[in-house]
Amino acid sequence: MGKEEEYQETETESNSSDDEEDEEPERWKKHYSSKHRMLLVGEGDFSFSVSLARAFGSACNLVSTTVDTQDNIAKKYSNGVRNVRELEEKGGLVFYGVDAKEMRDHFFLRTQRFDRIVYNFPHVGFLFPEASYCQIQLNKSLIKGYLSNAKVLLKQDKGEIHVTHKEGDPYDKWDLVKKAEKIGLGLHEIVPFFRGDYPGYENKRAHGSQSDAPFPLGDSSTYKFKPNHSSKFK
């Protein structure tokens, strides 16, 4: 073997070794991986996104959205601006004014497909008493709109749509699973949700004069849905 060939072979082995060293290890936080391309919907003060970014060591796989404007985030949440800044510094994307019921038409999101689409505690706001017919119907409409839009933005092979939801009355009347089935989504799994699994996450009321205050979670679960063709209920 000539000197030039020997050098080229050594250089190739060195480059291969460098590539392997540059490959970031996969990191998990509960159901979510640093290798998942994730869309986080209705993010409030963005503390859930930040919790994942810290666990992953990066936010490069995260796209976080809110229906609020940038100005409203600053007015409503004490840590909102700080959380957004941390997400962006870690490589995440943040979009404002994204309606969960229309997000498939968003100029950027419509070009993307995601492994995981997550909406924690969807709620339209306290327009009527929580257990009233009108309030329940409004929340059911939000759930339906979110699920139908998320289905369009989902990777169809192994993608999952998640909804974290309070259990019991009146939340059971939202008919989450039935709404998903009508849209063509099958229930894959239900797992208990514990806020402590996500250090730094602060669930916020998001509406009214106490928008920055937490609300009692009680018994809550994360519902995981998949397109019917890949569901265990197929």
pLDDT at position 218: 85
pLDDT tens per residue, the chain (234 residues)?
A: 554 444 444 444 445 445 444 577 999 899 999 999 999 999 989 999 999 999 999 999 999 999 999 999 989 888 889 999 999 999 999 999 999 999 999 999 999 999 999 999 998 887 888 899 999 999 999 999 999 999 999 998 889 999 999 999 999 999 999 999 999 999 999 999 999 999 989 876 667 666 666 676 789 999 999 998 644 433
Backbone torsions φ then ψ of 164, nearest 5 degrees: -95, 130
Of 137, 179, 186, the residue nearest 161 (C-alpha) = 186
pLDDT at position 212: 65
One DSSP character per residue, 160-226 reads EEEEEEE-STTGGGG-HHHHHHHHTEEEEEEEE--GGGSTT------SGGGTTS-----SEEEEEEE
Handedness of CA 166, 177, 200, 109 (dihedral sign): negative
Distances (CA, A) of 125 to 164, 215, 216: 16, 12, 15
What's the CA gap between 132 and 209, in Å, rounded? 21
pLDDT at position 124: 84
User: CATH second-level architecture of 30-230?
Assistant: 3-Layer(aba) Sandwich (3.40)
Distances (CA, A) of 47 to 31, 51, 199: 17, 6, 9
pLDDT at position 217: 79
pLDDT at position 231: 41
pLDDT at position 206: 67
Backbone torsions φ then ψ of 154, nearest 5 degrees: -90, 145
Distance of CA 82 to the CA centre of its chain: 19
pLDDT at position 140: 95
pLDDT at position 215: 73
pLDDT at position 9: 46
Q: Are strands 38-41 and 116-120 parallel, antiparallel or unpaired?
A: parallel
- Enumerate the domain spans of the chain: 30-230
pTM of this structure: 0.86
What's the CA gap between 163 and 170, in Å, rounded? 16
What's the CA gap between 234 and 221, in Å, rounded? 23
